[in-house]
């Protein structure tokens, strides 16, 4: 079949990888480079060039089985990374750091402040309650991390907000731990993060070993930056990729699924395909459809995205004041702020040695010395509220219904493995069509 794939993030590329041997695949990308959120850039610091990741950075073997298998197949080199987390509360002066995400608050010897001790006690209580919610669920194997219709997600799932109220958790716990941690992981707005459904949150955290149980996954990065895997992945079908070619519209003709009836419109003119896989974000996909069905409108329209500005720079003032509190992920509580404000210490994450620290900061561009800015990027992240989780469960209703499929990390938790699993699921569906 002639198959068009729109978008070269991990989802589009994995779909192309799975289908290009058996089908005539054409891949469209609006940008001038492949990779989407896998975006490594070269920067010069102190006269040395470093390859720095500015989007996708880390993964781990147990929770990324599809991605890990892909890296193995491609022979891509990876390395362990350090995943520590700190919180700075500019208002109260509190700065704390967990040496390891999995055992964030195991360092009880540091608990000198009674308020901090109370915070840790609440974290332990919350983690225990969250674990209880999913204690009988099997661990994710692969595509089961994408919710399905009729699954046990239960559309009546309560929000984190309601769960917190029911458990009488303190404002301090919510503001100084729960929101910073969740907001950092999902680059989510702190003001709305607690709308996230509690069971989905608990499932994700439990599977990633982030509910306080020791001995879970070792996080890793791609040696040389994520572009190393992107280059290896696209090599066999690089000649099928059209860069700087945005798809304006996808026009389906429901009268005849058998013939090449789906039209893809770009500046190059219309082209016809048997199947189209849209690997852009849900809102972009909906916008691309010339005549969306009621289901496509309701499912894709319920999963929204929010913007985040990422600044790559060398301004050390964006790290916590105390050197001891500096971690690979540093969350800054913005008093009254609406957006996630995290600084990734790229030296620690990618084992980079440089004269000045290389930092990637989300949503605090105005605090950075403009002379120390290396680059700036606008990214979008999916928003996971109850409407989105319900829409995810209905994805099979729209997949392939008009010869058009939709892949993307937004079908799961918004991470690389979700993109991989969503692409593999659609590749299987296309194979099974015959
Ligand atoms: C700063 C940051 C850090 C992150 N860190 C991690 C991490 O450490 N680990 C992790 O697992 N995940 C991380 N993520 C999440 C990341 O978003 C996902 O892992 C994943 O890369 C998303 O892939 P995708 O294929 O769904 O979308 P994208 O990678 O966004 O790809 C969509 C593609 O579609 C293209 N496109 C859009 N519209 C059109 C059009 N009209 N025509 C043609 N092409 C179009 C876009 O240009 C883009 O290339 C991070 C994200 C960000 C932004």
Residues 292 and 425 in one domain: yes
pTM of the model: 0.94
Using N-to-C axis directions, what is the helix angle for 65-74 and 227-234, rounded to 10°? 70
Q: Is the CB of 415 under 6 A from ligand 1?
A: yes
> Ligand 1: which of 34, 37, 63, 422 to mutate, judged by most atoms within 8 Å of the beta carbon?
37
CA–CA distance, 59 with 38 (Å, rounded to integer): 12
Q: Identify whether the C-beta of residue 285 lies closer than 8 Å to the C-beta of residue 7.
A: no
Distance between CA atoms of 13 and 67, rounded to whole angstroms?
12
Tell me if 155 sits within 8 A of 305, measured CB to CB. Answer: no
Residue 190: predicted pLDDT: 87
- Residue 216: the pLDDT is 63
Q: Which residue has the higher pLDDT, 97 or 78?
A: 78
Q: Is residue 376 part of a domain?
A: yes
Q: What is the pLDDT of residue 112?
A: 66
For β-strands 40-45 and 219-222, DSSP reports them as unpaired
E-assigned strand segments in 171-304: 219-222, 241-242, 249-251, 262-266, 269-273, 275-278
pLDDT of residue 101: 41
Contact 199, 133 (CB under 8 A): yes
User: What number is the average pLDDT over the span 208-236?
Assistant: 89
Distance CA 41, CA 55 (A): 10
Assign residue 408 a region: left if phi > 0, alpha if psi is -120 to 50, beta otherwise?
A: left
Does the Cβ of 4 fall within 6 Å of ligand 1? no
Structural domain boundaries, residue 259: 2-39+226-304+387-432
Residue range 215-240: mean pLDDT, rounded: 94
- pLDDT bucket at 143, cuts 50 / 70 / 90: confident
At 104 the pLDDT is: 45
The answer on 278 and 166 residing in a single domain is no
Pair (101, 237) in one structural domain: no
The burial class, CB within 10 Å (0-12 / 13-18 / 19+), for 48 is: exposed
Computed over every residue of the chain, the mean pLDDT equals 90
Which of 361, 382, 403 terminates a domain? The answer is: 382
Q: What is the pLDDT of residue 230?
A: 98
Q: Is 181 found in the same domain as 92?
A: yes
User: Are 321 and 354 found together in one domain?
Assistant: yes
We report the CATH number of the domain holding residue 356 as 3.90.660
Q: Is 180 in the pocket of ligand 1 (CB under 6 A)?
A: no
Q: Are residues 199 and 97 in the same domain?
A: yes
pLDDT above 80 (res 43)? yes
What is the atom index within ligand 1 of the atom nearest the CA of 416?
19
In a domain, 293, yes or no: yes
- Ligand 1 centroid to Cα of residue 409, in Å, is 8
Q: Is residue 274 part of a domain?
A: yes
Going by pLDDT thresholds of 50, 70 and 90, the confidence category of residue 258 is low
Q: Is 409 near ligand 1, meaning CB less than 6 Å away?
A: yes
Percent of the chain topping pLDDT 90: 72
State pLDDT tens for residues 177-197. 999 999 999 988 888 899 999
The answer on 280 and 209 residing in a single domain is no
- Shared domain for 86 and 230, answered yes or no, is no
For residue 58, tell me if it sits in a domain.
no
Residue 408, ligand 1, Cβ within 6 A: yes
423 lines ligand 1 (CB under 6 A): no
* Helices assigned H by DSSP within 302-406: 346-350, 386-393, 395-398
Q: Is the CB of 361 under 6 A from ligand 1?
A: no
pLDDT single digits (tens) 296-348: 999 999 999 999 999 999 999 999 888 878 899 999 998 777 777 999 999 99
pLDDT-based confidence at 90, cuts 50/70/90?
confident
Give residue 31 CA to ligand 1 midpoint distance, Å. 12
Neighbour count for residue 288 (Cβ, 10 Å): 23
What total of structural domains would you count in the chain? 2
Other C-beta atoms lying within 10 Å of the C-beta of residue 136: 7
Is the domain of 215 the same as that of 300? no
Are residues 115 and 99 part of one domain? Answer: yes
* Within-domain flag for 250: yes
User: Which atom from ligand 1 is nearest to the alpha carbon of 13?
Assistant: 25
How far, in Å, are 20, 31, 197 from residue 27 at the CA level?
A: 10, 12, 35
* 357-381 exposure pattern, b = at least 16 Cβ within 10 A, e = fewer: bbbbbbbbeeebeeebebeebebbb
> Quick check: 201 pLDDT over 80?
yes
Most ligand 1 atoms within 8 A of CB, residue of 13, 36, 186 to mutate: 36
Please tell me if the CB atom of residue 278 comes closer than 6 angstroms to any atom of ligand 1: no
Nearest-atom index, ligand 1, CA of 266: 42
DSSP 175: I
Residue 157 has pLDDT above 80, yes or no: no
The tens digit of pLDDT for each residue in 369-428 reads 999 999 999 999 999 998 999 999 999 999 999 999 999 999 999 999 999 999 999 999
Q: Do 101 and 215 sit in the same domain of this protein?
A: yes
Question: 275-290, pLDDT tens digit by residue?
Answer: 999 999 999 999 999 9
For residue 44, pLDDT beyond 50: yes
- What is the reported pLDDT for 102? 41
What pLDDT is recorded for position 257? 56
Find the CATH number of the domain harbouring 25: 3.50.50.60
- Ligand 1 neighbour 418 (Cβ under 6 A): no
User: Across residues 105-128, what is the average pLDDT?
Assistant: 72
SS3 assignment, position 361: strand
Position 89 in a domain: yes
Q: Is the pLDDT higher at 216 or at 100? A: 216
- For residue 56, being part of any structural domain is answered with no
Residue 132 CA to ligand 1 centre (angstroms):
33
The sheet carrying 249-251 orders its strands as 249-251, 262-266, 269-273
Q: Which residues pair with 271 in a beta bridge?
A: 264
340 in a structural domain: yes
395 lies in the same domain as 363: no
Ligand 1 near 386 CB (within 6 A): no
Average confidence (pLDDT) over 252-258: 68
């Amino acid at each position: 079949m002639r198959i068009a794939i729109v978008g070269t993030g991990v989802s589009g590329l994995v779909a192309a990888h799975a289908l290009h041997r058996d089908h005539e695949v054409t891949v469209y990308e609006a940008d001038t480079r492949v990779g989407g959120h896998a975006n490594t850039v070269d920067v010069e610091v102190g006269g040395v060039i470093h390859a720095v990741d500015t989007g996708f950075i880390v993964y781990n073997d147990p929770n990324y089985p599809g991605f890990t298998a892909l890296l193995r197949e491609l022979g891509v080199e990876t390395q362990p990374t350090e995943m520590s987390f700190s919180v700075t509360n500019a208002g109260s002066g509190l700065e704390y750091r967990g040496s390891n995400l999995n055992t964030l608050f195991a360092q009880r010897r540091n608990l000198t402040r009674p308020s901090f001790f109370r915070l840790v006690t609440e974290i332990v209580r919350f983690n225990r309650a969250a674990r209880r919610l999913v204690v009988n669920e099997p661990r994710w194997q692969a595509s089961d991390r994408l919710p399905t219709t009729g699954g046990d997600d239960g559309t009546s799932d309560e929000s984190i907000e309601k769960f917190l109220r029911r458990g009488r958790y303190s404002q301090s716990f919510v503001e100084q731990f729960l929101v910073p941690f969740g907001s950092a992981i999902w680059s989510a707005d702190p003001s709305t993060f607690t709308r996230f459904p509690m069971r989905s949150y608990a499932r994700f955290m439990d599977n990633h070993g982030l509910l306080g149980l020791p001995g879970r996954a070792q996080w890793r990065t791609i040696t040389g930056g994520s572009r190393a895997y992107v280059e290896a992945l696209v090599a066999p079908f690089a000649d099928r990729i059209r860069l700087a070619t945005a798809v304006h519209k996808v026009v389906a003709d429901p009268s005849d699924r058998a013939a090449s009836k789906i039209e893809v419109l770009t500046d190059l003119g219309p082209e016809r395909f048997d199947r189209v896989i849209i690997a852009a974000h849900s809102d972009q996909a909906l916008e691309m459809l010339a005549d969306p069905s009621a289901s496509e409108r309701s499912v894709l329209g319920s999963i929204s995205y929010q913007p985040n500005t990422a600044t790559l720079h060398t301004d050390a003032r964006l790290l916590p004041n105390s050197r001891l509190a500096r971690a690979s992920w540093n969350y800054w509580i913005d008093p009254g702020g609406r957006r996630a404000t995290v600084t990734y210490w790229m030296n620690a994450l990618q084992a980079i040695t440089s004269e000045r620290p290389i930092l990637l900061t989300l949503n605090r561009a105005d605090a950075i010395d403009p002379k120390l800015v290396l680059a700036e990027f606008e990214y979008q992240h999916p928003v996971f509220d109850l409407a989105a989780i319900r829409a995810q469960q209905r994805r099979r209703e729209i997949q392939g219904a008009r010869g058009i499929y939709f892949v993307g990390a937004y079908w799961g938790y918004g991470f690389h493995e979700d993109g991989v699993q969503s692409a593999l699921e659609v590749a299987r569906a296309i194979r099974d069509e015959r």
